[in-house]
Structure 1
């Protein structure tokens, strides 16, 4: 029953997300994220396959949970963020908005540097999504 519910919600979310590509007021990304969430919850096999994939292990577990990032990786991350923030800074004409965007970028650099390099690492307990069948 639970599997069927998640599959139905995933189908509806995928349909709405696809319609959202063409209709401006529907949030495509949100519906696609809901689709992936529901599909992963509908099948233990797919969940385990996703969690054990090399991309999940390198980008989620290694980076966000274990906080293993090299200085070169951080510099590359901040350069890419700089490009993303520089585009609106160049386009916008209001000086106060340029300074605000620069301040937000600087806050990201300071906050992420503190988080990845100085924030204490926690022992993370992996929680099982699927319970053992009784």
Structure 2
């Protein structure tokens, strides 16, 4: 039963992630990560097909796993994050919440820039 629940939720997150390719409010990458997790737990066949697909490689594999994100891609990501963080900041009149949103956004900006731009050290004996 749990296997079928994971497969169904995987299809749901995959569908929403694919819609997110066209609607900037839906985050494609986290939904595709969720799809990979759910299908990993339920169906090896679906998981392998998904991680070998072009969409997975474009939105998850290259930018997050291989750290091959262009400057244009990073700017686009941070602008979308700014919009998503700004919406509740504009709609709710609470200073503490606005400060919290700014701090969380800046933490994302710093950590993601560091993570995506750092070069992993190759251990002795490993090929690049």
Pairwise TM-score range, normalised by the shorter structure: 0.5 to 0.7
Q: 1:16 to 1:70 in 2, by over 3 A?
A: closer
SS in 2 for 1:88: helix
1:50 is displaced (CA, Å) by 2.0
Conserved? CA contact 1:67–1:121, under 8 Å: no
Give the unaligned 5+ runs of structure 1: 1-7, 18-28, 124-134
| Unaligned segments of structure 2, at least 5 residues | 11-30, 123-128
Residue equivalent to 2:25: none
Runs (4+) of structure 1 exceeding 4 A deviation are 13-17, 32-35
CA RMSD of aligned residues (A): 2.9
Structure number with greater Rg is: 1
Give how far 1:37 is off: 3.1
Distance 2:60 2:86 in 1: 27
Instruction: Provide the rounded CA distance (Å) in 2 between the counterparts of 1:72 and 1:12.
Output: 38
> TM-score, with normalisation over the residues of structure 2?
0.63
Measured against aligned partners, the alpha-carbon deviations of 1:51-75 in whole angstroms (never above 9, x if no partner) come to 2210122222211111011111111
Cα distance, 1:48 vs. partner? 3.1
